[in-house]
Amino acid sequence: MSEEKDIKPKHTGSKKMFDNPILEKLSRTHISIPISIYALTGIGLATYAYKYTNIQTYLIAILFLLGMIAFTLAEYWVHRSVYHIDTDTEKKKKFQYNVHGVHHEYPKDKTRLAMPPIISIIIVLILLGLFRLLIGIYAFAFLPGFFFGYAGYLFIHYIVHAYPAPKNFFKFFWVHHAQHHYKDGLSAFGVSSPFWDYVFKTMP
């Protein structure tokens, strides 16, 4: 069973995770840094696909869209299966708390609403290598959509936690994610899109 129900959210303060001041500083980030990493990488890859490959423009657009859709599924799966793993051992409990539980305990800590820049860069490199191996040159058209999806997710996740809900259609994102944090930590896993919550029946 995951530990979210045992974590009481604190709306002020922050958690010190490392005694080493350098590691502690590296565990935090301003949201603009990871968003910029993913957005600029996406722009660079899309530009390369358009200018320096023989992939047709319409196919670049299709692959870009597929990349964005794939990201929403990856976001859902990682959030549900990795960040909310069953904590049936002490090692799993510690892992879950360090990667995500701390966010549930301090949901308003703006410095920990995204992975640190070093982790973001590692993710970019791993995905680039993996998809280059799997789909070859088409990775330069697919990954921009994936990375823009990631940047969009980070932006939505940040504003949902950092700002009050607006009085318009977009309030849905605030309400949906608030249900995950404050009502049922084992539902509403989608942040940038509720689509997969409907598909996998985890919609509150």
Are the C-beta atoms of 84 and 2 separated by less than 8 Å?
yes
3-state DSSP call for residue 132?
helix
Predicted pLDDT of residue 5: 54
Predicted pLDDT of residue 43: 98
> One-letter amino acid identity for 133?
L
Contacts of residues 191-196 at CB distance under 8 Å and 24 or more positions apart, as own/partner, are 191/75, 191/79, 191/153, 191/156, 191/157, 191/160, 192/71, 192/72, 192/75, 192/149, 192/152, 192/153, 192/156, 192/157, 193/72, 193/75, 195/72, 196/72, 196/73, 196/76, 196/77
10-residue stretch averages of pLDDT, the chain, 204 residues long: 62 86 91 98 98 97 98 97 90 88 91 93 97 97 98 96 90 94 93 96 94
Q: Extract the runs of DSSP E, i.e. beta strands, from 53-190.
A: none
Predicted pLDDT of residue 73: 98
Q: What angle is formed at CA 169 by the lines to CA 165 and CA 172, rounded to 5 degrees?
A: 60
Predicted pLDDT of residue 131: 97
